[in-house]
Chain A
Amino acid sequence: MTTADVLMLALGAVAVGAGALVVTTRHLVRAGLYLVVSLGAVAGIFLVLTAELVAWVQLLIYVGAVVVLLLFAVMLTRAPIGAADDLDRPGWPATLVGGGTGLGLAVLLVDAYRWSTVELPEPGTAERLGTEIFGSWVLPFEVLSVLLLSALVGAIAVSVRIPGRRR
């Protein structure tokens, strides 16, 4: 066990714990806040894995924008303060499928890696990652920007209310 392992264990525990609270809590807004904790812990794991840029992008996009949008939506759809009772449907199939998926994947990965160790790679600078993206993956990058643009237009088109016309 190295320092990196201990850090990752702790952060992983936080991430999984907060993630479990996200899917089980009965407080709508708190689910969003637990999501912040979970995503932040995952960003911490990214840091330990020397993916610095990815960690900060995770913080910037996920915590700064995505979760805020989610919270925004929760508040716009009249979230009550305190526990709500009608958030869940009966849970047996979900437990079975979800637990099966998670544990099955975990078993698979544990079987593949056992208790082996690898050297941590060099801390990834933004420059090298940029070279990678704009070198090997420039086409997907461009496609993604088109996707983002169409998502932007689509979101506006869905949510805009044309005055005078009843939707």
Chain B
Amino acid sequence: MPVWLELVVRVVGVVAAFLVLPLVVGQAEHKVMAHMQGRLGPMYAGGFHGWAQLIADGVKFVQKEDVTPREADRAVFRLAPVVALVPYLLALLVIPLGPNDLVGQPLDIGLFFVLAVVGVGVVAVLMSAWASANKYSLLGGLRGAAQLLGYELPLVLAAASVAMAAGTLSLPGIVEAWRPWWLLWQAPAMLVFFVAGLAEIRRPPFDMPVADSELVFGYMTEYTGLRFAFFLLAEYVGIVVIAALTTVLFLGGWQGPFGDAYLGWLWTLIKVFLVSFVIIWLRVSYPRLREDQLQRLCWLVLVPVALGQLVLTAGVRLAIA
């Protein structure tokens, strides 16, 4: 296979995953959330149990008027949704689906890359918050930036723990080094990573920046139509990215009960969807954290736990070596 063809195939694969997986997760959220609340959820669009609801939503968003507030900083306002979306697309590029280079772009320090680009998302929050010329947007954006900056620390620390355990920063390398007993050993790191990841994508119960009962819709208040859809899409891609990262770092990625070599992609996808289900489940079950509780959880619980896990990992590594 020539190089360019391989490149095209990889890019097309990543873009397809980028477009399909969030829709699947979104639809799952519709249905799971509905059934957890004793409802049915969407039932009409597409016929069978409303499977095409999100496509219908997309069509609706395209048709809506694209409003830019008069006082807004137009260029920044319009650029923000794209900036929110692109980091997750880049992150999907390096997450391995299966063994033998079944990944968009194998990268030697993929973990670093993912954490770096996911961290860029906070710029989009600040851009949209400030450019909207709306006090609710600004408040939401400041809350969001504070939250994202704070939770980035436990996220990176927990990821560092598993990278230290595996002795590599490459995501496929981490999966290869993973052993089932890591589930026990790295459990605190996994919890910290998962919770911090939830906060990074601003999912409930960490949706203080978009707390709709007090801030209208936070930094997304002024957005309509396609741009708003971009923010929503970014949220769902964020779910996929966080679930995939948790899978790859802590749940063994493509390692399954049998047939890793040719069924690896299936195990990865199953795990990703299981973690996504848990993310949705948490959203339905828990109320939103208040702003001070949010920061306290980050600095007084997650960071110390992550640091302790780091010490433990270093100790075990030294003991083994």
In the complex they form, whether A and B have CB atoms below 8 Å apart is answered with yes
- Across the interface, do A33 and B127 meet the contact criterion of CB distance under 8 Å? yes
Chain B residues close to A by CB (< 8 Å): 71-73, 76, 108-109, 112-113, 115-117, 119-120, 122-123, 126-127, 129-131, 133, 138, 141-142, 145-146, 148-149, 152, 156, 169
Q: How far is it, in angstroms, between the C-alpha of A81 and the C-alpha of B130 when the chains are bound? A: 8
Q: What total count of A-B pairs have CB within 8 Å?
A: 80
Among A30, A33, A52, A125, max chain B CB count under 10 A is at: A33
* Partner among A30, A65, A68, A126 whose Cβ is within 8 Å of the Cβ of B108: A126
Q: Which residues of A from 38 to 83 have beta carbons under 8 Å from B?
A: 52-53, 56-57, 59-60, 63-65, 67-69, 71-72, 75-76, 79, 81-82
Q: Which residues of A contact B (CB under 8 A)?
A: 27, 29-30, 33, 36, 52-53, 56-57, 59-60, 63-65, 67-69, 71-72, 75-76, 79, 81-82, 123, 125-126
Are B119 and A59 in touch, CB under 8 angstroms? yes
Rounded to whole angstroms, the CA-CA distance of A76 and B123 in the bound complex is 16
Tell me which of A64, A75, A76, A81 contacts B116 (CB under 8 A).
A64
Inter-chain contact A60/B112, CB cutoff 8 Å? yes
How many angstroms between the C-alpha atoms of A71 and B108 in the bound complex? 32
Per CB-CB distance, the 8 closest pairs between chain A and chain B, nearest first, are: A64-B119, A59-B116, A60-B116, A56-B112, A56-B116, A71-B126, A126-B109, A68-B122
In the bound complex, residues from chain A placing their C-beta under 8 Å from that of B138 are 75
How far, in whole Å, are A92 and B61 apart by their CA atoms in the complex? 51
Inter-subunit contact B109/A81 (CB<8 Å): no
Residues A72 and B73 in contact, CB atoms below 8 Å apart: no
A81-B117 contact, Cβ under 8 Å, with A36-B123, A64-B122: no
CB distance from A116 to the nearest CB of B (A): 29
Determine if A126 and B73 form an interchain contact, defined as CB atoms under 8 angstroms apart: no
